[in-house]
Amino acid sequence: MKRTAVILGMVGLIFASSLSAFAQTDTKQTRANRAQTKNAAFAEVTDNPSLPRVLLIGDSISIGYTTSVQKMLKGKANVHRIPTNGGPTIKGLDSLTEWLGDGKWDIIHFNWGLHDLKYMEGKHQVGLEEYRQNLETLVKQMKKTGATLIWCSTTPVPEGVSPPRTNKDVEAYNQAALKIMKKHDVLIDDLYTYALPQLSEIQRPNNVHFSPEGSAVLAEQVADSIMKVIRDRRPR
């Protein structure tokens, strides 16, 4: 009886430990889901059928400027964004079909690069040559939608960021992307050049991200690049 009680006790402890670990994992995931749900950038957009549909694709930098772009283009465009952080090009390859969905897009404003060029275990998450190949594939897939494409250059990186990144890499990846965009006649939103002289006022210290006010500044450039396309698409 004593042996049975001991065994049952041990089984109970193991079960309780496993349940606790599951609960912690579930709680972390729940918190992440809740945080994304609360972010207004991911709110569902109800389309005005008389306005063009715009899709924003990008990482956390684009998440930061999404709501400001939506406000600036209110009454001029239905501005949607992908329901997540766009991450590196390898995530784009896995998810782009789902992100594009079945609806018609008039304009797609997109960026990949900041995650590709970060260092993980001593090397880039996505090397420069692989980045070129991935971006080429992504552009060809987006062009099939018939939407006007606007490529957004990756914003500058200050020193001392974590995970490690260098601005030299930002420039190299941007240049590689630019060649692909010119090859495919994709429009350019040079957010890098726009942000560079203002970094001390709009970017957080030792951080790739921007202050809320800084994200609003970036949104002005993004909204302007989209409005230029909308004006050109209007019947004359």
User: Are 94 and 206 contained in the same domain?
Assistant: yes
User: Are 135 and 103 contained in the same domain?
Assistant: yes
Count other C-beta atoms under 10 Å from residue 198's C-beta: 14
Instruction: Identify the CATH number of the domain in which residue 47 sits.
Output: 3.40.50.1110
Domain region containing 2: 1-38
Indicate left, alpha or beta for 42 from its phi (over 0: left) and psi (-120 to 50: alpha).
Answer: alpha
* Average confidence (pLDDT) over 98-114: 97
User: Are 96 and 144 contained in the same domain?
Assistant: yes
* Average confidence (pLDDT) over 42-64: 97
User: Are 17 and 89 contained in the same domain?
Assistant: no
**Spatial distance between the Cα atoms of 220 and 211, rounded to a whole number of angstroms:** 14
Half-sphere exposure of residue 168, counting CA atoms within 13 Å on the CB side?
3
At residue 41 the predicted structure's pLDDT band, cuts being 50, 70 and 90, is very high
User: Are 151 and 201 contained in the same domain?
Assistant: yes
- CA dist 39 to 66, 85, 173, 200, 224, Å? 10, 12, 29, 26, 23
User: Are 76 and 11 contained in the same domain?
Assistant: no
The whole-number pLDDT of residue 38 equals: 74
* Average confidence (pLDDT) over 26-38: 49
pLDDT over threshold 80, residue 119 = yes
User: Are 76 and 166 contained in the same domain?
Assistant: yes
User: Are 169 and 157 contained in the same domain?
Assistant: yes
Rounded to 5 degrees, φ, ψ at 55 are -115, 125
pLDDT over threshold 90, residue 37 = no
User: Are 33 and 79 contained in the same domain?
Assistant: no
User: Are 34 and 45 contained in the same domain?
Assistant: no
The whole-number pLDDT of residue 235 equals: 57
Whether pTM > 0.75 for this model: the answer is yes
How many structural domains are present in the chain? Answer: 2
User: Are 157 and 124 contained in the same domain?
Assistant: yes
The whole-number pLDDT of residue 65 equals: 98
The whole-number pLDDT of residue 233 equals: 78
User: Are 33 and 124 contained in the same domain?
Assistant: no
* Average confidence (pLDDT) over 177-201: 98
Average pLDDT of the chain is 89
